[in-house]
Amino acid sequence: MTAAERLVVAGTLVLSESSEPCSEPGNLVRRLDARTSFETKHLHEYCFSAPTGISHDIASLLGAVRLADRGFVRHHSRAWERTLEIELPVYELSTWRTQTVTNSLEDCLQYLTGDQWSFRFVKRRRNPAPAGQVHLVSSPDVPRVFVPFSHGLDSYAQSELLTASRREKLEIVHVNINANRRSASWRSLGRGGRARAVPVSSQVDEPHHAEPSFRTRPFIYDMMAAYGAAMSDTSRVLVPENGQGSLGGSLVPLGNEAPHRSCHPGFTSRLARFVHALTGREVNFEHPGLFLTKGQVLARLAKVRPNSNEWLLAHPSCSYDSRHAHDGGRKVHCGVCGNCLLRRLSVHAAGLADSTRYRATDLRASTIDGTFGDGDLPREIAAYRDVALNSARSMQRLADLADTPAAARVWAEIDGLARYQARSIQEVKDDMFALLKQHRSEWNAFLQQCGQSSWVTQLARG
């Protein structure tokens, strides 16, 4: 394959301060304003910090990264990789042009998305808006742990487990990207739970037909949490993902896609290097569920929060397009995507009754069409079949790795994790195969419950 064939998509995003930026062929030119940035005022208020030039620059960077990732559509049938260039006006030009900052940023995004990224920083002329009143919530002497929080089941589970296990006074700060573009009022923050909830309002106007893979989403969440930790003079950021979610996408990549590393220590270690180069602060990403299955995590959660019906209903997992995962206008879990299948498997492994509402309900049906019940076949059934096939096969492929201890991909992961976590090869090997064997055991038990003639078993073993 030649370089020309490999680099199928190449695009340049230019963020301009001019009132009427001009587009050029192959470029995406946007005005640098509230619609291409993130609003971080509440994060500063929690961290007892007024916005700085760097914080304004980070908000613009996240908007630019999201816009570039969503604005240049991959040619999946030919190649995964894109070449993405970004020109971004910044206030702290000398900092951003430092080689360690630029190199660590590009390395982090390349590892995460499988694309080639390059940045050109130029001086931003307009002064930042003056900071408003900074609200004081609690003593800045209280140790904090920042959690990238999507309101999903894993985020909730690890936060609750940390709350139940802590002995010292500790504040858990959830950092959530508020996709409705409206910043919550100050009075509403922190309500509804023991952990602080800090929304970061998203103001990015994406193209109508955006690239669906959106691999930069964890960069946005984790960067906000890491920057909050750096501002708070704390070093702890908790990554709540389970072992299957953290490592499965790297161990069993789908088709010609780059490995999925949204919660992988390889990504968070690179992000930590970027944050240190940018701010001079050390931030440590903790992965408490890295070698635990989701079933093991939910079993532990049920011991400290026995009201499983409530938290299963309150915290979603579905990753399928929300336009197709609904029932009578109400958002529900699709029931067949990778996240839904892992959720169903894990609830079964934890010995819990599943109160989740799924659109695809009957796991014992012999066909994927039959899982929806009589007269309720969705119009997009072909897409459901494709998603279900990939989900079941990925679960089976991960389980199969427990029976292939010499697999090169497994050993490559073990070697990398040992370096990222500064542990011995033997320690990581033991943890890795304990995870793979546990997943195999849970998956086989789940398939047995579904039955040999079920669509799940047929797709997995077909």
pLDDT at 37: 78
Strands 9-16 and 27-31: parallel
Q: Assign 181 to helix, strand or coil.
A: coil
Confirm if 440 and 352 have CB atoms less than 8 A apart: no
Select from 455, 450, 451, 449 the least CA-distant residue to 369.
455
Dist CA 339 CA 337 (whole Å): 6
pLDDT at 179: 57
What secondary structure, in 3-state letters, does 312-334 show?
Answer: HHHCCCCCCCCCCCEECCEECEC
Q: pLDDT confidence of 206, banded at 50, 70, 90?
A: confident
Q: What angle do CA 204, 69, 33 make, to 5 degrees?
A: 25
Least confident range of 18-32, 286-300, 315-329: 315-329
**Residue 319: pLDDT above 90?**
no
Select from 139, 83, 129 the least CA-distant residue to 106.
83
Mean pLDDT of 304-323: 87
Q: Assign 180 to helix, strand or coil.
A: coil
pLDDT at 334: 92
pLDDT at 20: 63
> pTM value?
0.90
Kindly write down the DSSP assignment for every residue of 26-84, as one continuous string: TEEEEE-SGGGSEE-HHHHHHTT----HHHHHHHHHHHHHHHHHHHS---TTT-S-EEE
pLDDT at 6: 44
Over residues 209-224, the pLDDT tens digits come to 899 899 999 999 999 9
Mean pLDDT of the chain: 86
**Residue 417: pLDDT above 90?**
yes
Over residues 100-140, the pLDDT tens digits come to 999 999 999 999 999 999 999 999 987 766 655 554 445 45
Q: pLDDT confidence of 48, banded at 50, 70, 90?
A: low
**Residue 266: pLDDT above 90?**
yes
Q: pLDDT confidence of 251, banded at 50, 70, 90?
A: very high
pLDDT at 374: 67
Cα 123 → chain centroid: 31
Strands 116-123 and 27-31: unpaired
Q: Comparing 131 with 172, which gets the higher pLDDT? A: 172
Q: pLDDT confidence of 446, banded at 50, 70, 90?
A: very high
Q: pLDDT confidence of 5, banded at 50, 70, 90?
A: very low
Confirm if 262 and 218 have CB atoms less than 8 A apart: yes
Over residues 328-373, the pLDDT tens digits come to 556 789 999 999 999 999 999 999 999 999 999 999 999 999 998 7
Helices (H), 196-292: 217-231, 243-251, 265-279
Q: Assign 232 to helix, strand or coil.
A: coil
Residue 385 tokens, joined: 């079949």
Domains of the chain, start order: 3-123 (no CATH), 144-204+215-286 (3.40.50.620), 308-461 (no CATH)
Dist CA 250 CA 111 (whole Å): 11
Q: Comparing 136 with 17, which gets the higher pLDDT? A: 17
Dist CA 436 CA 446 (whole Å): 15
Place of tokens 């695009």: 11
Kindly write down the DSSP assignment for every residue of 102-139, as one continuous string: HHHHHHHHHHHHSSEEEEEEEE--SPPPPP-PPPP-S-
Least confident range of 253-267, 318-332, 447-461: 318-332
Q: Comparing 167 with 110, which gets the higher pLDDT? A: 110
Over residues 427-441, the pLDDT tens digits come to 999 999 999 999 999
